[in-house]
Amino acid sequence: MSSVRVRFAPSPTGYLHVGGARTALFNWLYARHMGGTFVLRIEDTDSARNTADAVRVIFDGLHWLGLDWDEGPLPAGGVRGDRGPYFQSERRAIYDRALRRLLDRDQAYESDGAIRFRMPRKKIVVEDLICGEVGFDCTLEQDFVIQRKDGSPVFHLVNVVDDLEMRISHVIRGEDHLSNTPKHLAIAAALGETAPRYAHIPLILNRTGSKMSKRDVGASLSEYQEGGYLPQAVRNYLCLLGWSLRENREVFPIETAIGKFELNQIHGSNARFDADKLLWMNGTYMRSLSVEEILPHARIWLERTGFPIAKWEQDYIKEVVLLVKEKVKTGKELVEWARPFFQEEVSFEEGAVNRFLNPAGVQALRELLDDLSEAADFASSALEARFRKLAQAHETSVRTYVHPARVATTGREVGPSLYHSLTILGKERVLHRLRRAIETFAS
């Protein structure tokens, strides 16, 4: 086992930010690339904001992205690893010992009920694995609080103590923490310990060029989980926010990223979040996956929308998913395109009815109903031949029948291949829908 130990240390505040998800991913990739250990640590010292549900959001988000951790709390309870506790709220005795050591060494002192750290007045150089050497002039730096008046320890202390106690070798975190690093190096030195190596990854910017915040649309990972995105597509896109294969390839399996991931290849410039590119990438994955690979996701999307999937045969669901997955970019779109196949009665779009179920369209449906009632073969190729033959017999275009048939059987004017759709729906259901449309819209 490699000596590389990295960690993801989120605060359970009710959502998982895409920036946090990207940080978790980069730590996980480095651990997997180096054969090291990926630690999950929960920074839950803010008791007013942190809840069990918020912790579950973190577990669910990491699990959805496929980021398994080697040490840390387990979703079902218990822990994995021997350097816990992995919740900061359970580590108070450890912080108290560190505080006592700093006080005993005169590296900290009490002031107005709080405990302050004596910041060394000198230049501190951060040897950052991404940003390079970054110097900080701390000659005028103020001493800072490491334990509040109420006795609670401050982030700077607990962060450093946890990293030292858990033997973290590399801290991979957002560039907004770079300015905190001199303080963290100073605390580690005051405790007589060697600090981890630091690697600060570029910030993620929104469309306007400012740092992406939780208020931005698309900032929460749950938006993609609930919006019908594929986890492997989101994971692939997050890889590109500050890193690349340098092979002019943007779509690649996670195994390729693991094999190629190096900290010195992470870009120094900030990354701009492009929702349109993520949508494109998700569509690429939707088309590339086999029906067997996408089916488990599709079942979740359909069930979440309220369709009683259990009543439909597996082969029928597979046929529907295979038909529509080439036309859509998200699971939400897949559900909308699949809706007519899982509803007993068609819901008609008003615009489609006005355009294609006028008197001429209804007459076309009557002719089509008579013809399809005689069909012994309902395969798509046979249906296409019947439509063409019917159009020739009435000296008209095949579109005369295609558009009214699509609206009558699906309720909309746009959709996947009509002939394949009719085959999947089956003769009995198609004839029923044609009759209903004729009865409903005949003047």
Kind of pairing between the strands at 5-8 and 79-80? unpaired
Active site residue 214: yes
Question: Is 37 in contact with 70 (CB distance < 8 Å)?
Answer: yes
Distances 415 to 181, 188, 277, 293, 420 between C-alpha atoms, Å: 55, 62, 24, 23, 11
Q: How many CB atoms lie within 10 A of CB 98?
A: 23
Distances 254 to 22, 242, 261, 273 between C-alpha atoms, Å: 14, 16, 10, 20
Angstrom distance (rounded) from CA 281 to CA 261: 20
Asked whether residue 389 is marked as a ligand-binding residue, the answer is no
Q: How many CB atoms lie within 10 A of CB 442?
A: 12
For residue 391 the two structure tokens come to 């159009």
133 backbone dihedrals φ, ψ, rounded to 5°:
-75, 125
Question: Is 68 in contact with 59 (CB distance < 8 Å)?
Answer: no
Angstrom distance (rounded) from CA 224 to CA 279: 10
Angstrom distance (rounded) from CA 119 to CA 141: 7
Angstrom distance (rounded) from CA 423 to CA 407: 16
E strand map for 151-224: 170-174, 197-201, 204-205
Provide the terminal-to-terminal Cα distance of the chain, rounded to the nearest Å: 77
For residue 116 the two structure tokens come to 């302050």
Q: Name every residue whose Cβ is closer than 8 Å to that of residue 180 and which is 6 or more positions away in sequence.
A: 156
Q: How many CB atoms lie within 10 A of CB 33?
A: 17
The catalytic position among 214, 260, 277, 327 is 214
Question: Is 318 in contact with 295 (CB distance < 8 Å)?
Answer: yes
Question: Which residues fall in the annotated binding site for ATP?
Answer: 214
Question: Which residues fall in the annotated binding site?
Answer: 214
Q: Indicate which residues carry an active-site annotation.
A: 214
